[in-house]
Amino acid sequence: MSVLSLSPKEGNPVTLNDLQKACASLDVTLKDEELEDYRKLLATFHEAAAELMNMSNYELQVDLDRVPRKNVRYPTPEELKQGWAWKCSIRNKSSSGSGLLTGKTIALKDNISVAHVPSLLGTDFVKDYTPSSDATVVTRVLTNDAHVVGKATCENMCHSSVSHSAATGPIHNPFAEGYSAGGSSSGCGVLVANAEVDLAIGADQGGSVRIPACNCGLVGLKPTFGLIPYTGCSSNEPTNDHLGTMTRTVFDTALLLSTIAGPDYIDDRSSFAPYSVPSYHTSLLRLSNPTDLSDLRIGVITESLASPTLHPGIKSTFLAACSRLASISHATVVDVSIPLHTKGPLIWTGVSKPGGYLTKLLGAPGRRTYELLSLNEQTRTPLPPERWDAAYPATKHIYLAGAYAADHFPALQAKATNLSRALRDAYEGAMEREKLDVLITPTLPTLPSRHCEDGAGPIEKMKGQLGVTENTCAFNQTGHPAMTVPMGMVELEEGPLGRTGRKVPVGMQIVGRWFAEEVVLRVGFAWEQGNKWKELQESGDESER
C-alpha cells in the first residue's frame, strides 16, 4: 500500500478525537505513544480523499445528436396503469435501416439508465433521480435501430416479486384484474403481453424477469451471469445481478439477445462472457426441423415437484407438458434428483440480504464497474426519517437484516457465496452424470396472488411473495441461463376471481449449462413450435379433464 504523504498540510481538520472515533468503530485501541503518528496518517489520507472527491466525476458519454431524446414526459394516469414509468421516443438518426431490431419498439425496466430520462425505481424512497448516461444495453438496442418508447414500471426498488408495491400504483395481471403480474419487472411483462411494445429488457436478481414473464404468458430469459453487461443499471447485489429479455416469442428473445450480449469491458460482470457470442436468432433459423430434439436429454428436477407450496394445477400441467415435450420433440426426458435445489432460496437469501445492504451503503466496492454515484448517495445511511418512512417494507427488511447480519452473522455472505458454488456444482454434476443438456422445472410453484388491501401491514404486503422464487433464485446464485416459456393455463382458486373459471398462464423453466443459451433457446423454440400459444391457452389445467 502506498502512502501519498507523511506530513499533513496546515489547517488539516483531522483530530485525535476523529482517530478515537475510528478506533471505537473498530473496537480497537492504539498505544498512547502511537496516537499522533496515526493521526498524521489519517490526516494525510483525509487530504487525498478530499482532493479526489473534488475532482469532476467521469460519466459515460452519450451522442445526443445521433440518438436524441424526444417527447420525454411523465405518463398519463391511464399509461401508468398500463405499466409505463416514463415515456420518451429515442431512435438512431444515423440508422441505415438494416439493424436487427429495425421496426421494433422496446421498453426498459426503470432501473436501466437512459440519459436525461428520469428513473422512478418504483419508489418514493429515492427522489429526483435522472441518469446522465445510457446503460450499455440501451446503446446496443439503439445501434441496432430499435425504437425506445419508454421506461417500464418496476416494483419498489426492485424488491418485490409481486406487482402491488410500486409507488405509482399496482400493476395488474393482463389475464386477471386485481392479481399480480409478477415482479419486479412488472411493467415490462404487462406492456409486452398487451402488445404495447414488441420487446422489453428487465433485470433479474432472484426471478424478476422470469416471474412476470410467467404470470403474463411470455418468454423470459435470464442468461448466463455476465452475458449481458450490467453497466448503467441499479444493482441489488453484484453477484446475482442479471439483465434479461421479455418477449412474446422465443425467436424474438433470440433476436434481442443477439443484439445485447457480449462483454463491454466496463463492468466486470460481463468479463465472464465470451468475446464472440453466437448469432442466436440465426441458429434458430438454420434448424431444418425446429421441433426435433432427438439428440438431447432433458432432466426434470424432482425436488421442484415435491415442494409443499407447489399448486396441484401447476404440477399436473407441468407433468402433461413434460409428456408433450417428449412426444413432439422426441427428446429423452428423465427425472433427476438434485437435493441441494431445495436449499437454493436459503443460499440466495444469505447473499442477497447482507449483499443488498452493503450495495446500498457502499455501491459496488472492489469491482470494476461504472458506479451510479447520484443514486448511491440517496441510499447510504444515516437516512433522513422522511426517506426511511417512504421505504417499502421489503427495502426496510434488507437494511434491518443486513445490519443484523453484520452484528450477529458477519460471515453469512461469505458462507453463502461458497455454498453458491456448491449449488452450481450440484446442478452441473447432475447434468454431467446423467448426460443432460438442460434441466426443467415449473417456473413458479404458485399462481398469481391477489393484490393486498390498502393500508396493509408489512407482513400482509409481502406474504404474496412466499415461495414464489423457489425455482428461480437458485440460478441467480449459480449463474446458469434459465428461460421460462408458457406451458398452459390454470384456474385461479383464491380472491374475487377464484373458482369463477378465470385462468392465468403458468410456465416451464428451461435451465442450461453456462453460455449454452443456444441449447436453451432451441428447447424453448421446439416447445413453442409444437404448441402454439393459443392452443396452450385453450388447453387449461390437465387435472380438470
- CA nearest neighbour of 108 among 270, 269, 246: 246
- Catalytic residue status for 374: no
List the grid coordinates of 319. 407433468
CB 187 within 8 A of CB 83: yes
- Catalytic residue status for 184: yes
According to DSSP, the residues that pair with 504 across neighbouring strands are 490
Q: Which residues contact 24 (CB under 8 A, 6 or more apart)?
A: none
Q: Which of 104, 109, 315, 461 is catalytic?
A: 109
List the grid coordinates of 537. 391457452
Give the DSSP letter of residue 227: S
Q: In 10 A of CB 73, how many CB atoms?
A: 12
Q: How many residues does the chain have?
A: 545
| Amino acid at residue number 14 | V
- Catalytic residue status for 89: no
Terminal-residue alpha carbon distance, the chain: 71
Give the DSSP letter of residue 194: T
Torsion angle (degrees, nearest 10) of CA 518, 523, 528, 531: 170
Q: Which residue has the cell 485525535?
A: 16
Q: Which of 133, 161, 208, 449 is catalytic?
A: 208
List the grid coordinates of 101. 431490431
Give CA 104 to chain center in angstroms.
23
Instruction: Report the distance separating Cα 219 and Cα 210, nearest Å.
Output: 8
Instruction: Report the distance separating Cα 265 and Cα 107, nearest Å.
Output: 25
Q: Which of 160, 163, 180, 184 is catalytic?
A: 184
| Residues known to be catalytic | 109, 184, 208
